[in-house]
């Protein structure tokens, strides 16, 4: 069963849903809309999947060869490239990305 991360969407929230919480449910089930603890409105968020490759270590050199990039969060909505191909952007500013 997949794990989904939900986070409060409004002013009302509890400690559980304020920073995000994991909820397990089937893909076929509808998305949750209320925090199970406080009833606040919540929405599913995008998060990095947990991947285990056993003893396989992903190094910066392997990322460079594969064409993938690794970024470090600078904490102000910007991300700095620390590994990856030379044609990948050095800085990504989420505030300059197109809005949906």
Regions in the chain scoring below 70 on pLDDT:
1, 48-56, 100
The verdict on residue 87 lying in a domain is yes
* Residue-number span of the structural domain to which 89 is assigned: 60-96
CB atoms within 10 A of CB 9: 14
- pTM for this prediction: 0.47
pLDDT of the residue at 30: 92
Number of folded domains that form the chain? 2
Q: Do residue 13 and residue 37 come from a single domain?
A: yes
The Cα-based distances of 50 to 3, 38, 53, 66, 97 in angstroms read 10, 28, 10, 19, 25
Say if residues 42 and 55 touch (Cβ distance below 8 Å).
no
pLDDT of the residue at 41: 94
pLDDT of the residue at 56: 67
């Amino acid at each position: 069963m997949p794990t989904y991360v939900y986070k409060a969407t409004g002013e009302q929230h509890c400690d559980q849903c304020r920073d995000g919480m994991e909820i397990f449910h089937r893909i076929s089930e509808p998305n949750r809309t209320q925090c199970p603890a406080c009833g606040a409105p919540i929405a599913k968020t995008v998060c990095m999947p947990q991947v285990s490759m056993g003893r396989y270590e992903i190094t910066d050199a392997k990322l460079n060869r594969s064409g993938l990039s690794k970024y470090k969060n600078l904490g102000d909505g910007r991300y700095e490239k620390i590994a990856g191909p030379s044609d990948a952007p050095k800085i990504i500013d989420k505030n300059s990305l197109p809005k949906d």
